[in-house]
C-alpha cells in the first residue's frame, strides 16, 4: 500500500534559510514594533523569546497581547517579490512530482503563503491538500506543530491512518511528536547542512546532524531518496 506523505514546506521543499526566513523575522519584528509600540531592539528580542518559548512567535503574541492570528499572519507574510527568492533543486522538484502516493502539505505557515510558494515552485498540483497553521486549532486554541493533540486531530479530520503516513520535515521536534502517534518520520537535512554555520540559533541548534534520534526513521538530503522508501 502506498504511503500518505505529509510534507513540511520551509527548509524541506525549498531553501527558506537562503532569504525567506530572514525577511520573515524582519517582518515579524516590524509588526511587534508597530502593534505593541516597542523600540525595535525590544521588539526583536520579544519575537525571539516567544519563538523559543512557544515554538511560534504568534502563540506568545496571541496569548499575552491579544493579537489576532489572522491579522498577524496576513501582515507578516506579505513579502513582496518573494518568488524571486525561492530556491529548490530541479531534481527534487521532479522527484516530488513522480513520487507515488497521496501528498499533503503540513506547515506552520499560513495557507496563503503556502499556496504562493507552491505555485511559484510549480508544485501546487502535487498536493491533495494544504494543512496550514489556521487549521491547527484544538478547542479554540492555536496549537501548531509539534503539538501532538493538533496532529492527532488533523489525522482524524482527514481520515489519514497514522501507520500509513510519513512526515518529511526539517525540525526534529515535529518528527518526535509525529512518531508518538505512529507516523513514520523522515528528517530532511539538506538545508540544515547548507546553512548550519549561518543559522546557529535555528530549531536544530545543538543537535548533531550525523546521529539519528530514535524517533527519526530515516535521514535524507534529497527528495529523490524518498523513492527508495519501502
Phi, psi of 54 (to 5 degrees): -110, -10
**Over 50: is that where the pLDDT of 189 sits?**
yes
* Tens digits of residue pLDDT in 7-39: 999 999 999 988 899 999 999 999 999 999 999
**Over 60: is that where the pLDDT of 206 sits?**
no
Mean pLDDT of 113-128: 96
What is the DSSP code (8-state) at residue 28?
Answer: H
Q: How confident is the model at residue 230 (pLDDT cuts 50, 70, 90)?
A: low
Q: How confident is the model at residue 192 (pLDDT cuts 50, 70, 90)?
A: confident
C-alpha to C-alpha distance for 64 and 84, rounded to whole angstroms: 35
Helix (H), strand (E), coil (C) string for 104-150? EEECCCCHHHHHHHHHHCCCHHHCCEEECHHHCEECCEECCCCCHHH
Phi, psi of 202 (to 5 degrees): -70, 180
> Where does residue 152 rank: exposed (0-12), middle (13-18), buried (19+ CB within 10 A)?
middle
Phi, psi of 122 (to 5 degrees): 60, 45
**Over 80: is that where the pLDDT of 137 sits?**
yes
Whole-number pLDDT of residue 150: 96
Whole-number pLDDT of residue 229: 73
Mean pLDDT of 195-202: 44
**Over 50: is that where the pLDDT of 198 sits?**
no
Amino acid at each position: 500500500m502506498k504511503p500518505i506523505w505529509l510534507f513540511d514546506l520551509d527548509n524541506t521543499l525549498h531553501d527558506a534559510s537562503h532569504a525567506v526566513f530572514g525577511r520573515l523575522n524582519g517582518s515579524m519584528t516590524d509588526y511587534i514594533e508597530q502593534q505593541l509600540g516597542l523600540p525595535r531592539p525590544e521588539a526583536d528580542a520579544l519575537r525571539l523569546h516567544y519563538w523559543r518559548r512557544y515554538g511560534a512567535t504568534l502563540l506568545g503574541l496571541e496569548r499575552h497581547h491579544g493579537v489576532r492570528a489572522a491579522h498577524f499572519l496576513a501582515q507578516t507574510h506579505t513579502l513582496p517579490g518573494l518568488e524571486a527568492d525561492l530556491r529548490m533543486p530541479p531534481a527534487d522538484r521532479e522527484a516530488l512530482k513522480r513520487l507515488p502516493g497521496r501528498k499533503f502539505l503540513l506547515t506552520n505557515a499560513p495557507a496563503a503563503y503556502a499556496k504562493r510558494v507552491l505555485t511559484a515552485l510549480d508544485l501546487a498540483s502535487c498536493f491533495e491538500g494544504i494543512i496550514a497553521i489556521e487549521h491547527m486549532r484544538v478547542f479554540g486554541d492555536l496549537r501548531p506543530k509539534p503539538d501532538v493533540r493538533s496532529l492527532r486531530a488533523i489525522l482524524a479530520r482527514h481520515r489519514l491512518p497514522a501507520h500509513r503516513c510519513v512526515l518529511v520535515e526539517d525540525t526534529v521536534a515535529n518528527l518526535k511528536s509525529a512518531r508518538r502517534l505512529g507516523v513514520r518520520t523522515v528528517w530532511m537535512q539538506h538545508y540544515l547542512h547548507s546553512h548550519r554555520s549561518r543559522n546557529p540559533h535555528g530549531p536544530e541548534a545543538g543537535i548533531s546532524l550525523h546521529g539519528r534520534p530514535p524517533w527519526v526513521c530515516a535521514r535524507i538530503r534529497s527528495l529523490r531518496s524518498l523513492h527508495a522508501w519501502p
